[in-house]
Amino acid sequence: MHISDGLLPVSVCAGGYVIGGVATVVSLRRVGDRDVPRLALMTSAFFAVSLIHLKLGVTSVHPLLHGLVGAVVGPGAMVPIVVGIIMQALLFGHGGVTTIGVNAVMIGLPALLAGWCVRKWGVGSYGGRRRSAPDTKKEGRSPVEGRSPILHPPPLCAKGIGRPALVGFVAGFGAMILSLLIFLAAGLTADDVFFKAIGWFLLAHVPLAVIEGLITAAAVGFLVRVKPEVFDGQ
């Protein structure tokens, strides 16, 4: 998904830096000290999963989870995306230095949109609402079992999870599709070499978009049930 150096004209790379820079500054203004743990966690997740490459025919794909980044971090989503892209370019040559701005726009803007959708239509009044602990004595469960969402995660069909999970899927799937469209738009300014495998490249990312949608749906549904304050104040 990352665009390498030398494929895009200078004007497009410069425009990417301008748009990406403005979006990052706006994101920075929307985060506070209490958001730092979430930013660090999602930066690590984005950085790590983007380095996993799966070979498919003449091309390869890798997960981004930028829809999930947007869902968890909200308006601050550009920050972990930009930090991750810079680290990938400088440490592993993944993408390019001249295309950091374009890659940030291609991945970061869909993440921001995904986060807005989840908070607007998915979690709604769930944000900031702490759920009381279940009465384990009445339910016949041990206290350990009642307090262990990791050992006993709630199913996506549980009451109250359906809408957040559905919107989470749309956000994760849509973020990948939108990134592909931005990738294609940027590719229109490149030379003919860029288009040799672009058809297969786009096709290979469709199942990945479905997988990212499912992961985002599961994560949003889980957080709404066990830690809705993740969606506080953004």
Per-residue burial over 58-71, b if 16 or more Cβ lie within 10 Å, else e, is: ebebebbbbbbbbb
Residue 120 counted as domain residue: yes
Residue 173's alpha-carbon distances to 67, 107, 197, 216, in angstroms, are 8, 13, 22, 8
Model-level pTM? 0.81
The upper half-sphere exposure of residue 45, i.e. CA atoms within 13 Å in the direction of its Cβ, equals 19
Query: Which letter does DSSP use for residue 131 in this model?
Result: P
The token pair that represents 231 in the structure block: 């969606």
Q: How many domains does the chain have?
A: 1
CATH number of the domain bearing residue 99? 1.10.1760.20
* Nearest-angstrom CA–CA distance, 126 and 116: 14
For residue 44, the surrounding DSSP H or E stretch is helix 36-49
Q: What per-residue confidence (pLDDT) applies to 92?
A: 86
The token pair that represents 115 in the structure block: 């986060």
Helices (H), 118-197: 143-146, 162-187
Residue 204 counted as domain residue: yes
Q: Over the stretch 15-49, which tens digit does the pLDDT of each residue have? A: 999 999 999 999 999 988 888 999 999 999 999 88
Residues with Cβ within 8 Å of 27's Cβ and at least 6 positions away in sequence, in order, are: 75, 76, 77, 78, 79, 112
Residue 4 counted as domain residue: no
The upper half-sphere exposure of residue 100, i.e. CA atoms within 13 Å in the direction of its Cβ, equals 17
Residue 3 counted as domain residue: no
Residue 41 counted as domain residue: yes
Q: Which residue(s) pair with 59 in the sheet?
A: 56
Identity (one letter) of the amino acid at 232? Answer: D
Q: What per-residue confidence (pLDDT) applies to 198?
A: 65
The 3-state DSSP class for residue 50 equals coil
Give the chain's count of helices (H) and strands (E).
8, 2
Which residues of the chain fall below pLDDT 70? 55-60, 124-160, 191-200, 233-234
Residue 2 counted as domain residue: no
For residue 221, the surrounding DSSP H or E stretch is helix 198-226
Residue 5 counted as domain residue: no
Q: What per-residue confidence (pLDDT) applies to 113?
A: 96
The 3-state DSSP class for residue 75 equals helix
Residue 34 counted as domain residue: yes
Q: Which residue(s) pair with 54 in the sheet?
A: 61
Q: What per-residue confidence (pLDDT) applies to 179?
A: 93
Contact yes or no for 171/122 (Cβ under 8 A): yes
Enclosing domain of residue 195: 10-231
